[in-house]
Amino acid sequence: MADYETVIYEVLAGGVARVRMNRPDVRNAQNQRMTYELNDALTTASFDDEVKVIILSGEGPHFSSGHDISGGHDPSYTPTRVGISGGIGKPGSEGLMAMEEEIYLNMCRRWQTLPKPTIAQVHGKTIAGGLMLMWVCDLIVASDDATFTDLTVDFGVNGVEWFAHPWEFGMRKAKEMLFTGEPVNAEQAYNLGMLNHVVPRAELGDFTETLAAKIATRPSYSLKLAKMSCNQAQDAQGFWTAQQAAFNLQHVGHASSFERMRAEAMAEAGLKLKWEK
């Protein structure tokens, strides 16, 4: 079993694997190490023929506070890349886009298409990038105190990199969530179809494991085929094409934000942009 720093991996009885995000001190904020350790753990479970269902959960008071923007990345950590995005490390938008293709968009796509059923066990707050970790799972079970928030419009972009909002909430609520930044509570999310079950916080772990064990009694190959059929139906609706388009638009937002910050910095220094008189 791998010795992870940010993830706990265990195989339970009955063909169920549990992957637990383990950065409770920062509310499971997702840094680069956690991304790759999650990927390694999920891949391990996928390759283990004794595992039929995977549960993703988070340690501490909240499921995930999103991307780690605190500057807490470990510069000594150099992951082995799993995608084909060239240009990581190049200056400007080229390097940023390549990096986010690797660690966000394509990593989420990889997890969404794992050949085994996955269940997100969600409690407390799930904010911005944490939504991606939850939405790639096939089923979502939440505690009754759970809330879901995307604040990224405040940061100058259109939403998190795995842009599933219209599919998860419906178009009207997706727009309201993004436009206002207000949280959606568990009851609302259930009524909108984003959650499979809402249970009391104290019952969340047992309920999720019971559900996973029930699924694990089914044949692994037909579970895989059922998952593929649902995912392919979603893609036929335009899901993956829309994901890529939204990701590209996010980088238009990034470029605009960087240009605005550059203009503000130049103004403070008493300089003008070349098109200003």
Which of these, 162, 101, 158, lies nearest to 134 by C-alpha position? 162
Q: Per the domain annotation, does 276 fall within a domain?
A: no
Q: Per the domain annotation, does 104 fall within a domain?
A: yes
- Which residue range is the domain that position 178 belongs to? 7-268
- The answer to whether the beta carbons of residues 186 and 145 sit under 8 Å apart is yes
Q: Per the domain annotation, does 60 fall within a domain?
A: yes
Mean pLDDT value across the chain: 94
Residue type, 229: S
For position 78, which CATH number holds?
Answer: 3.90.226.10
Q: Per the domain annotation, does 273 fall within a domain?
A: no
Q: Per the domain annotation, does 2 fall within a domain?
A: no
pLDDT tens-digit profile, the chain (277 residues): 578 999 999 999 999 999 999 999 999 999 999 999 999 999 999 999 999 999 999 999 999 999 998 755 666 788 899 999 889 989 989 999 999 999 999 999 999 999 999 999 999 999 999 999 999 999 999 999 999 999 999 999 999 999 999 999 999 999 999 999 999 999 999 999 999 999 999 999 999 999 999 999 999 999 999 999 999 999 999 999 999 999 999 999 998 888 887 777 777 777 765 555 5
Q: Per the domain annotation, does 40 fall within a domain?
A: yes
- The answer to whether the beta carbons of residues 209 and 50 sit under 8 Å apart is no
Q: Per the domain annotation, does 112 fall within a domain?
A: yes
Which of these, 103, 136, 105, lies nearest to 118 by C-alpha position? 136
Please report the pLDDT score of residue 46 as a whole number. Answer: 98
Q: Per the domain annotation, does 166 fall within a domain?
A: yes
DSSP 204-231: HHHHHHHHHHHHTTS-HHHHHHHHHHHH
Overall domain count for the chain? 1
Query: Residue 187 is encoded by which pair of tokens?
Result: 């009851």
Tokens 């996955």 appear where? Answer: 118
- The answer to whether the beta carbons of residues 85 and 50 sit under 8 Å apart is no
